[in-house]
Amino acid sequence: MSQVTTKENLSLLESDFLKTLMYFDIFSYPLTLKEIFACSTVKEASLPQYYELADSLAEKGWIYQHDRFYGFSPDPEDVNRRKKGNLLARKMLQRAYWISRFIASFPFVRGVFLSGSISKNFMTTESDIDFFIVTKPGRLWIARTMLVMFKKVFLLNSHKYFCVNYFVDLNHLEIEEKTVLLPLNWFI
């Protein structure tokens, strides 16, 4: 009789590895081992341990490897989609940089960051460039109004390259909604 795998008989490292892949699998986004390792909550783990674990999990048929990416799907299309999305995001980063500098020139704006798919180094042809804006304390609404009015009047309400979707002020920086972030230097 085959052994049923439960949460109780998974090692901490296996559980951590699989949870990371499960999170990104929601977005059909396979990961490299370095990216999985970067998300690890098991601080005692080493990258070589992750390589051994990946081989073991792939051998069991729990995960699949395509090129240098790992995921739950045996279909390599997710890898192709990711590579195309990473390439498009890299192309759009230059434009995002210039738009960020422009947004930073507005009164009361104290910081401009990327959010949305481009912040994860991934875009599709339908993606827009999302910005996260930090304002001077007590000036969030006036800064937001000015940026939204600029977009509506001068950009004809275009969302493609100028989507200001998050605003916080320097005294209220925490956002309740959180996602897993990878350091940009781990991306292709």
CA atoms within 13 A on the CB side of 164: 28
- As given in the structure block, the two tokens for residue 121 are 């180094």
Most confident of 4-8, 25-29, 84-88, 166-170: 84-88
CA 16 → CA 7, 45, 54, 108, 146, distances in Å?
A: 11, 10, 12, 42, 44
pLDDT digits 0-9 by tens, 53-86: 999 999 999 999 999 999 998 889 999 999 999 9
Summarised one tens digit per residue, pLDDT across range 106-141 is 999 999 999 888 988 899 999 999 999 999 999 999
**CA proximity to 114, closest of 106, 124, 104:** 104
